[in-house]
Amino acid sequence: MSRAEDQALNHASRRDVLKAAAALTVAFWLPRGAGATRPEAAGAAGSALEPNAFVRIGADDTVTVFAKHLEMGQGVYTGLATIVAEELDADWKNVRVEGAPADAKRYNNLAFGPMQGTGGSSSISNSYEQLRKAGATARALLVTAAAQRWNVPAADVTVTSGIVEHKSSGKRAHFGELVADAAKLPVPADIKLKDPATFKLIGKDAARVDSRDKSNGTAIFTQDIHLPGMLTAAVIHAPLYGAKVKGFDAAKAKAIKGVKSVVAFETPVRSGVAVLAADFWTAKKAAELVTVDWDDSAAFKRSSAELFAEYRELAKQPGASAKQVGDVTKAFGSAARTIEATYEFPFLAHASMEPLNCVVRVGAQDCEVWNGEQFQTVDQAAIAKLLGLQPASVKLNQLYAGGSFGRRANPQSDYLLEAAAIAKAAGVSEPVKMVWTREVDMRAGFYRPMYVHTLKAGLDQEGKLVAWQHRIVGQSILAGTAFGGSGIDNSSVEGASTLPYEIPNLSVELHTTKLAVPVQWWRSVGSTHTAFSTECFIDEIARATKQDPYAVRRALLSDKHRRHQAVLELVATKSGWTQPRAKDEVWGLALHESFNSVVGQVAQLRRTADGFKLERVICAVDCGLAVNPNIVAMQMESGIGYGLAAALSGAITLKDGAIEQSNFDDYSVLRMNQMPAIDVHILPSTNKPTGVGEPGTPVIAPALANALAAASGKSIRTLPLAGQGVTLV
C-alpha cells in the first residue's frame, strides 16, 4: 500500500468517526413521530409504529426502546428494554436501546415528580408499570392490525418472539410487516397487562444490550465525541475551595502551537482558568504554563484532623431529633449496663473511571450539550439560566457514562455549567470539549461528607437491649440545593432513623455542620456511614454480651420486618453461618436496607501467615421482582467492590484547605487481586421491583469489620482500614 493510500485510509477513518458522532446527534434529533402532536395516532405514518414515548417498531422489525434513564454501568438500558420487550413479546435479538432526549413532560422520573433524572436506585421501580403499558400498547396495536388484515378475531391472534400469528389459519407476520397499518390505528386507552406467571423475559437473564460495544471499543462516551471544529479545554481550578482568580499570565501558554485562547471563568460553584486548544494534550501542556494569581481571602483553609476533633466535641452534645421512640434518658437511667462507641468516616471521592467532561456548543439562541446525563431537568435549567436562554433551547444529547456513582447528578450542575461558562468566556461558536484530568476530578469536591457518629446502648440485667442513642455529625448533602428543606436532612440519617431492630427506647440525633467543602450523594448516600455504625455497633453488643451476631439480629427483628428476617435467614443458610467453621476462618455478618431493598452479607476471611484474606462474600438480597437476576447479581458484585474499596483505603483528606489526594496512587481503589469471590442469592418475590444499583454497597464494610473484630476482639470504628494495623492480603 502506498503512503498516499495509507493517508487516505487514515483520513477515511477519521471521517467515519465524525460521521458516527454526527449520526449519534441525528438520532437524538429525530422527531418522535406524529404521535407527539397527534396523540390519537399510533405513530408516524408508513415507516414505523411509535405509539408512545418509549418504543418505536420499524419496518425492518427493529424494536427501539427509548431509555429515559442514564446507562452508567448499572444495566438500566437492558432492564428497561426487557420490560418493554416482555409485554410486547418482542424478539430480544431485535431490541435496541437509545437514550431518550431531555423532556421532563414525557420522560420524568415518576419517583422524582416533574423532573427527569436518574438516581436513588429508582430507574426500574419507577418505570416498571409505565414500560409494561408502553410495550403492551404496541403489542395490542400490532394484534389489531393483524386481525383486521386477516379478518379474524383479535382474541385468536398470538404474539411470540416478534411473530404475530393466527394459528388456525396459519397466517403469520413479522412486526415490521404490520407497523404501517398499526400506526394508523387509535391508541387504546385501557390495556391489559400480562399475568407475571407467563413472563418469558422478565425474571430471566436477558443478555446486556451494551456488552458488545463495550468489549470492542466502539461504545461512545462523552470523552469520545469529536465534532467539526471542536476545541478541547483543559482547566485550572483554584487550589482552595472559595478562592477566586485575581489575574493570570498566559503568555507562555499562548505561545504553544495549537492554543486558541486562555480564559478565566466563574460559575456559582467555582472560579478558574481554561486553556482552549485543538486537542487535549496541547491544552493540558499549555495549562501547566499558566500562572494564576488567586484571591484566597475567603477560601476554606481547615484540615481534616481539626475538623474531626470539632465533630467529636459536637457529638458529645444532644443534636436535633431525627427519630424518637420511648424515653431514652429514662431507659439509660435504669439500664444495668451501657456500651458506647464513636465511629469516624472520611470524605470520599466518587472517582469514576471517566474523569468528568462535557461537550457544549453555545450558539446565539441555543445551546447543545453532549454528556452522560443524569439530571436532565436540573442541568437544562441551570445552563439556560447561565446563558440567558429558555430551558427548551438547551438540547442534551445522551451518551454512555463511564461511571457516576452519584457524581453526575450534581444539584448545582457544576461541570456542565463550567463547560458552558468556558465556551461563553471564550466567545466561540464551535463546540468545546471540557476535559478534566484525573487530578482535577479528584480535587473538585462534591465528596461523600465526613462524619462522626456516637452510639450508646443500654442493656438490662439479662443483657437485653433497652435503649439506643445514635448521634450523627456531618454536613448536609441537600441543604442549599433545590432538594433541601429546613430541618433534618433525611439523607444524613437514613439507615439510622430506619433501624429495623425492635428497641423500646431509641433516639437518633443530628448535628448538621457547615463547611465550604462541596458534598454530594455517593453510591448509597446516608447508608454509606449509617450501615457501618449501626451494624458494627450491633456486633459490639453481641461481643459484650457473648451472643452470636446472627442470633442477636434475629431476636431483634420483629414480624414488622419480615423482609429483613427472610434476608438474614437466607444469608445465614447459604453461608452455613450456624455450621462449625475451620479454625483459620473468620466471618462477619451485616444486614441493611436501602432504597427499599434489603441486603445481607457474610464476609468470609481466612487467616494466613501474611494476614487475613477476604476470600468470599455471600450476599442475599430482597429487591422485589428481579427483572434481570443476572444484572441484580452484577450490581451486588459491583456494590460490594465499590464499598470494599472505600472500606480498605478510601479517604479524601484536607490539609490547610487543600485536598491531599490527586490520582489513583494516593487515592487507592480496589484492584483485581483484592476482589473476593461473590455468591449472590436473590430472594424470590412477586412484589414490585425495588433498588439494585446502590443497596449492595453499604453492607460489605460492616461485614468485613465485624469479621476482623471477631478475630481480634478489637472493634474497628474508623474507616478506612488502611493505616490501622490491619493487613488484608
Partner 1 sequence: MLTLDINGKKFETDAEPDTPLLWVLRDHLGMTGSKYGCGKALCGACTVHVDGAATRSCVLPVSAAATMKITTIEAVGNSVVGRAVQDAWIAENVPQCGYCQSGQVMSATALLTTNKKPTDADIDAAMSGNICRCATYVRIRSAIKRAASALA
Integer CA distances (angstroms), 105 to 109, 126, 153, 344, 347, in order: 10, 15, 36, 43, 36
Does position 695 interact with partner 1 (CB under 8 A)? The reply is no
Does position 355 interact with partner 1 (CB under 8 A)? The reply is yes
> Cα dihedral angle (550, 555, 561, 562), rounded to 10 degrees?
70
What φ, ψ does residue 595 adopt, rounded to 5°? 50, 40
> Which residues neighbour 626 within 8 Å (Cβ) at sequence distance 6 or greater?
203, 632, 682, 685, 689
- Indicate left, alpha or beta for 723 from its phi (over 0: left) and psi (-120 to 50: alpha): left
DSSP symbol at 48: E
Of 351 and 466, which CB lies nearer to partner 1 in the complex structure?
351
Q: CA 723 to CA 721: how far, in whole Å?
A: 6
Quick one: cell of 56?
Answer: 418505536
Does position 219 interact with partner 1 (CB under 8 A)? The reply is yes
Contacts (CB under 8 A) with partner 1, residues 393-412: 400-405
Q: CA 299 to CA 237: how far, in whole Å?
A: 13
Distance of CA 606 to the CA centre of its chain: 32
Does position 438 interact with partner 1 (CB under 8 A)? The reply is yes
- Minimum Å distance from CB 728 to partner 1? 14
Does position 351 interact with partner 1 (CB under 8 A)? The reply is yes
Window of 33-41, 135-143, 280-288, 484-492 that interacts with partner 1 by CB under 8 A: 280-288
Does position 213 interact with partner 1 (CB under 8 A)? The reply is yes
> Cα dihedral angle (8, 10, 11, 13), rounded to 10 degrees?
120
Q: CA 12 to CA 18: how far, in whole Å?
A: 10
E strand intervals along 138-252: 157-160, 163-166, 171-174, 231-237, 244-249
Pick one of 50, 86, 103, 224: the residue that binds partner 1 (CB under 8 A). Answer: 224
Window of 16-24, 117-125, 333-341, 602-610 that interacts with partner 1 by CB under 8 A: 16-24
Q: CA 81 to CA 72: how far, in whole Å?
A: 15
Q: Which residue has the cell 418493554?
A: 84
- Minimum Å distance from CB 702 to partner 1? 18
The interface mask with partner 1, positions 669-688, x = CB under 8 A, is: xxxxx-x-xx----------
Using alpha carbons, select from 12, 483, 426 the residue that is nearest to residue 259.
Answer: 426
Integer CA distances (angstroms), 540 to 119, 513, 705, in order: 33, 28, 11
> How are beta strands 244-249 and 231-237 bridged, if at all?
unpaired
Contacts (CB under 8 A) with partner 1, residues 35-64: none
Pick one of 110, 152, 220, 555: the residue that binds partner 1 (CB under 8 A). Answer: 220
Contacts (CB under 8 A) with partner 1, residues 592-631: 630-631
Of 22 and 30, which CB lies nearer to partner 1 in the complex structure?
22
Does position 143 interact with partner 1 (CB under 8 A)? The reply is no
Does position 74 interact with partner 1 (CB under 8 A)? The reply is yes
Pick one of 329, 390, 481, 663: the residue that binds partner 1 (CB under 8 A). Answer: 663
- Minimum Å distance from CB 18 to partner 1? 8
Q: Which residue has the cell 496541547?
A: 282
Q: CA 440 to CA 443: how far, in whole Å?
A: 5
Of 159 and 620, which CB lies nearer to partner 1 in the complex structure?
620
Pick one of 638, 649, 690, 715: the residue that binds partner 1 (CB under 8 A). Answer: 638
Pick one of 279, 313, 327, 656: the residue that binds partner 1 (CB under 8 A). Answer: 279
CB atoms within 10 A of CB 151: 9
Of 221 and 577, which CB lies nearer to partner 1 in the complex structure?
221
Residue type, position 413, single letter: S
Q: CA 129 to CA 318: how far, in whole Å?
A: 44
Does position 645 interact with partner 1 (CB under 8 A)? The reply is yes
Pick one of 168, 198, 215, 486: the residue that binds partner 1 (CB under 8 A). Answer: 215
Does position 8 interact with partner 1 (CB under 8 A)? The reply is no
Residue type, position 545, single letter: T
Of 278 and 711, which CB lies nearer to partner 1 in the complex structure?
278
Pick one of 148, 437, 498, 513: the residue that binds partner 1 (CB under 8 A). Answer: 437
CB of 156 within 8 A of CB of 142?
no
Does position 513 interact with partner 1 (CB under 8 A)? The reply is no
What φ, ψ does residue 282 adopt, rounded to 5°? -60, -45
Of 224 and 539, which CB lies nearer to partner 1 in the complex structure?
224
Does position 3 interact with partner 1 (CB under 8 A)? The reply is yes
Window of 4-12, 133-141, 381-389, 648-656 that interacts with partner 1 by CB under 8 A: 4-12
- Environment class of residue 544 by beta-carbon count within 10 Å: exposed (0-12), middle (13-18) or buried (19+)? middle
Pick one of 49, 55, 57, 72: the residue that binds partner 1 (CB under 8 A). Answer: 72
Pick one of 203, 500, 518, 641: the residue that binds partner 1 (CB under 8 A). Answer: 641
Does position 14 interact with partner 1 (CB under 8 A)? The reply is yes
Pick one of 154, 305, 353, 551: the residue that binds partner 1 (CB under 8 A). Answer: 353
Pick one of 41, 419, 640, 703: the residue that binds partner 1 (CB under 8 A). Answer: 640
Does position 73 interact with partner 1 (CB under 8 A)? The reply is yes
